Amino acid sequence: MASISLRNVIKRYGTGKTELQVIHSVNAEIAHGEFIVIVGPSGCGKSTLLRMVAGLEEVSGGEICIGERVVNDLEPAERDIAMVFQNYALYPHMTVFDNMAYGLKIKKVPIDEIKQRVDKAAGILELGHLLARKPRELSGGQRQRVAMGRAIVRQPQVFLFDEPLSNLDAKLRAQTRLEIQKLHRELGITSLFVTHDQVEAMTLAERMIVMNAGNMEQFGTPEEVYSRPATTFVASFIGSPPMNLLKSAPGGKPGQILGVRPEHLDIGTEGWALHVDTVELLGAERLVHARLGEEKLIIRTHEDQGAPVVGSTIHAQPRLDRLHWFDASTGKRV
């Protein structure tokens, strides 16, 4: 187990006029045993950042440290990390046991120790009854557990996960998230987990790095990121549905954007006059899509509240202790 330090980390491609900088001075200190999620939309640089930690991409500037070592110039095999990919990367002709054991055999680990490590990992991941099967005989979720098992048996200092759940259906993703949480509790290995799914990030992370266009917009616990977003980007990306961001709300401040979460708007007899466009029924809750003049917003209500009539005018009062203000020119929290 080891800490990870990202110190002014930069990534550029090309030179001269064709130079393109895709990672801009990322700084983060990750403690021993932390589970950190790097989250952001496609193309934001999150996988590139992970691949630099892994040694699969060169660092253009700054330092990456694993434990006490600067690893910028070390090969992946020298960094004592294990990576779990999106596509499983299993050998189709090998059994589950041999897939999990392969890296240890290459390192000439004694046979008895290999069996002990594989059996232990298989027990943690509930794969013991599948060790003799080939990958084609497994479900997607089982294949992903084998990929995780292959990483576990190496006993690395750091786990790196690159969107490992994106090939699974919704039910399997939820189940595998629970397995990853259990795995981290048992092993306590420092982990970086990349995803574009903000729900996945919120449920897995001890702390999360929110990336946007190569910049680290915020680094904090899920509660901090949700309750006090540092920028309008974080406010609009984290949360389902996202925070309402209003440029011309009644009582607004000049040069500022008002943010309010959908669950912090209460329908009643007072407050903003809103035109109801549509109502979504989502089991135990409803999402009311409405307009305040030209501004669109969403209100989250419970099933025991009456559903507004589409096309009607309703009133909603924002909770004053849950308002957020952002600078309109920079998008940063004020």
> Is pLDDT of 175 > 90?
no
Of 22, 42, 55, 54, nearest in space to 191 by CA: 54
| Range of lowest pLDDT (147-151, 202-206, 247-251) | 247-251
Q: Which of these ranges, 157-161, 164-168, 285-289, 310-314, has the smallest mean pLDDT?
A: 164-168
Above 90 in pLDDT, residue 13?
yes
* Residues 168, 27 within the same domain: yes
In three-state secondary structure terms, 214 is coil
Asked whether residue 225 falls in the same domain as residue 315, the answer is no
Crossing angle, helix 111-124 and helix 170-187, to 10 degrees? 120
The yes-or-no verdict on residue 57 having pLDDT over 90 is: yes
**pLDDT beyond 80 at 252:** no
Give the mean pLDDT of 241-252: 88
Output the pLDDT for position 168: 82
Q: What is the pLDDT of residues 32-51, one digit of tens each?
A: 999 999 999 999 999 999 99
Look at residue 164 and tell me if it is in a domain: yes
Model confidence over 88-123: pLDDT tens digits? 789 999 999 999 999 999 999 999 999 999 999 999
What confidence score (pLDDT) does residue 248 get?
A: 84
Residue 332: inside a domain: no
Backbone angles phi and psi of 273, in degrees to 5? -85, 120
Residues 212 and 84 reside in one and the same domain: yes
Say yes or no: 87 and 214 in one domain: yes
The mean per-residue pLDDT over the stretch 302-315 comes to 91
CATH code: domain of residue 128: 3.40.50.300
The pLDDT assigned to 225 comes to: 97
The predicted pLDDT at position 85 comes to: 85
Q: Does pLDDT of 327 surpass 90?
A: yes
Name the percent of the chain lying above pLDDT 90: 77
| pLDDT-derived band at 138, boundaries 50, 70, 90 | very high
Mark which of 234, 255, 279 sits at the end of a domain.
234
Same domain, 105 and 146: yes
pLDDT at position 113 is: 95
| Residue 96 resides in a domain | yes
267 and 167 in a common domain: no
Q: Among 112-121, 176-185, 219-228, where is mean pLDDT lowest?
A: 176-185
- Mean confidence (pLDDT) of the chain: 93
**Residue 239 within any structural domain of the chain:** no
Q: In what order do the strands lie in the sheet with 207-212?
A: 81-84, 158-162, 190-195, 35-39, 207-212, 215-220
Is there a single domain that holds both residue 254 and residue 230?
Answer: no
Asked if residue 18 belongs to a domain, the reply is yes
Q: What's the confidence (pLDDT) of residue 79?
A: 94
Do residue 113 and residue 85 come from a single domain? yes
Please give the pLDDT value at position 170: 82
Based on the domain organization, do 303 and 194 belong to the same domain? Answer: no
Dihedral of the alpha carbons of 184, 188, 191, 194, in degrees to the nearest 10 = 10
Task: Give a yes or no: residue 168 inside a domain.
Answer: yes
Asked whether residue 1 carries a pLDDT value surpassing 80, the answer given is: no
Model pLDDT, residue 202: 94
Tokens of 195: 């995803």
Last residue of a domain, one of 234, 266, 296: 234
Pairing of strands 256-260, 324-327: antiparallel
Contact (CB, 8 A) for 92 and 146: no
Do 134 and 269 have their domain in common? no
Last residue of a domain, one of 194, 214, 234: 234
For the whole model, what pTM was predicted? 0.91
Residue 12 forms part of a structural domain: yes
pLDDT (average), residues 173-194: 90
Give whole-number Cα distances, 331 to 64, 113, 293, 298, in Å.
29, 55, 22, 20
Question: How many separate domains does the chain show?
Answer: 2
Task: Note whether residue 280 is domain-resident.
Answer: yes
The residue segments making up the domain with residue 318 are: 245-327
